[in-house]
A = this chain, B = another copy of it.
Amino acid sequence: MSPSTVSRILNGTAQVKATKAAQVRAAIDRLGYKPNAFARGLVTGASGSVGVLTQDIASPFYGDALSGIESGLMGSGYSPMIISGHWRTDDEEHAVELLLSRRVEALIVLGGQLPEDELRGLAGGLPIAVLGRRVEFDSPTSTSLALDNRRAAYDLVTYLLDRGHRRIGHVAGPPDHVDARDRLAGYRQALEDRGLPFLPDLVAQGDFHEPSGLIGTQQLVARHPDMTAIFSANDQMAYGARLALYRMGLRVPEDMSLVGFDDLPGSAYTTPPLTSVRQPMAEMGHWLARFVVAQLTGQTVEPFQPQLKLHLRESVAPRRFP
């Protein structure tokens, strides 16, 4: 019984007599043999894994995308190798380095700050799928899925305007974050398209986390007592805003309308449920996973256009005219 025969049995590479196969399987069970993925990878050059660069392993935002990736990879024979970049370029670079040295066969990048050129360079070596940013690749083996943050913010603010609101505050995200800038731009444009001025001090600076939403809201209310609605650049800050209003005795939506962005799982269960815009993170992750698998196996996938969806819930009321 030679090693090659065993190899053939394990991989089904060639026909082997059934008796021998059974014999070998018995021995495997008995000895608790586990094939060494390193040795196999070394000779085949295939790792069977797809690198996933996320930003925060505990983030509810990217968590959905990770679930989607998991399900998209399921049954493909590939498994994800997940590393966090913590929104820090050097962490991200280390992560990519690690993934490459582990010989991942494709890369899925969730957000982050890696320069486009670097991504394009990587795409020369393996299929890349980017979520949350638009990146143009030369080769069709790589792709990106971006959302129109600006448009979604525009729609959200327009919705408030349609309900009669005129003094609309904005709790913005970090200015070095492209999503945050786009959402701010959408807010601004929606106002201007209705002939309303953009007032810088109706914008409070946040950092996408709850406490900054709380503080920002306190500032906005203090500066503009006539404000009737707040657009928070993400749901987490909207939660902070909600609490600030509660503390100040302002009712939502009677005294203040509130809208968020991202439609986190919890947003349907706040009091009142929060109007927000849903990015189909899980679906996008799923598709990206199927995309890279398709590249790896020489198949094709149907294109996918993610749709942002407004979830109109009870946190918004028409403006009252006293």
A residues adjacent to B (C-beta < 8 A): 34-39, 41-42, 47, 56-60, 63-64, 66-67, 70, 79-84, 97-98, 100-103, 210, 214, 239-240, 242-243, 246, 265-266, 268-273
Judging by beta carbons under 8 Å apart, are A66 and B57 in contact?
yes
CB distance from A74 to the nearest CB of B (A): 10
Known: A103-B36, A103-B37, A242-B271. A70 touches B57 (CB 8 A): yes
CB distance from A226 to the nearest CB of B (A): 23
The complex places the Cα of A58 from the Cα of B96 at a distance, in Å, of: 22
Judging by beta carbons under 8 Å apart, are B239 and A103 in contact?
no
The complex places the Cα of A82 from the Cα of B57 at a distance, in Å, of: 10
Choose among A56, A59, A63, A102 the residue with the greatest number of B CB atoms under 10 Å from its CB.
A102
Q: Which chain B residues border A56 with CB–CB below 8 Å?
A: 67
Query: With contacts A58-B60, A210-B266 known, what are 17 further pairs, Cβ within 8 A?
Result: A34-B97, A34-B100, A36-B42, A37-B102, A37-B103, A38-B38, A42-B42, A58-B63, A58-B67, A59-B63, A63-B63, A210-B265, A240-B269, A243-B273, A246-B271, A246-B272, A271-B271
Judging by beta carbons under 8 Å apart, are A38 and B41 in contact?
yes
Question: Which residue of B is nearest A100, CB measured?
Answer: B34
Q: Which chain B residues border A58 with CB–CB below 8 Å?
A: 60, 63-64, 66-67
Known: A37-B103, A269-B240. A63 touches B57 (CB 8 A): yes
Known: A79-B98, A243-B273, A269-B210. A47 touches B38 (CB 8 A): yes
CB distance from A9 to the nearest CB of B (A): 16
Q: Which chain B residues border A242 with CB–CB below 8 Å?
A: 269, 271
CB distance from A205 to the nearest CB of B (A): 19
Among B34, B60, B98, B210, which residue has its beta carbon within 8 angstroms of that of A101? B34
Q: Which chain B residues border A271 with CB–CB below 8 Å?
A: 242-243, 246, 270-271
CB distance from A274 to the nearest CB of B (A): 11
The complex places the Cα of A214 from the Cα of B266 at a distance, in Å, of: 13
CB distance from A286 to the nearest CB of B (A): 13
The complex places the Cα of A269 from the Cα of B39 at a distance, in Å, of: 51
Q: Which chain B residues border A239 with CB–CB below 8 Å?
A: 266, 269-270
Question: Which residue of B is nearest A252, CB measured?
Answer: B271
Q: Which chain B residues border A70 with CB–CB below 8 Å?
A: 57, 84
Question: Which residue of B is nearest A57, CB measured?
Answer: B66
CB distance from A93 to the nearest CB of B (A): 13
Q: Which chain B residues border A42 with CB–CB below 8 Å?
A: 36, 38-39, 42
The complex places the Cα of A231 from the Cα of B242 at a distance, in Å, of: 24
Q: List 17 A-B contacts (CB under 8 A).
A: A34-B97, A38-B39, A38-B42, A56-B67, A57-B70, A57-B82, A58-B60, A58-B63, A58-B66, A60-B63, A210-B266, A239-B266, A243-B269, A243-B271, A243-B273, A266-B266, A270-B271
Q: Which chain B residues border A240 with CB–CB below 8 Å?
A: 269
Judging by beta carbons under 8 Å apart, are B60 and A60 in contact?
yes
Judging by beta carbons under 8 Å apart, are B101 and A35 in contact?
yes
Choose among A39, A57, A266 the residue with the greatest number of B CB atoms under 10 Å from its CB.
A57
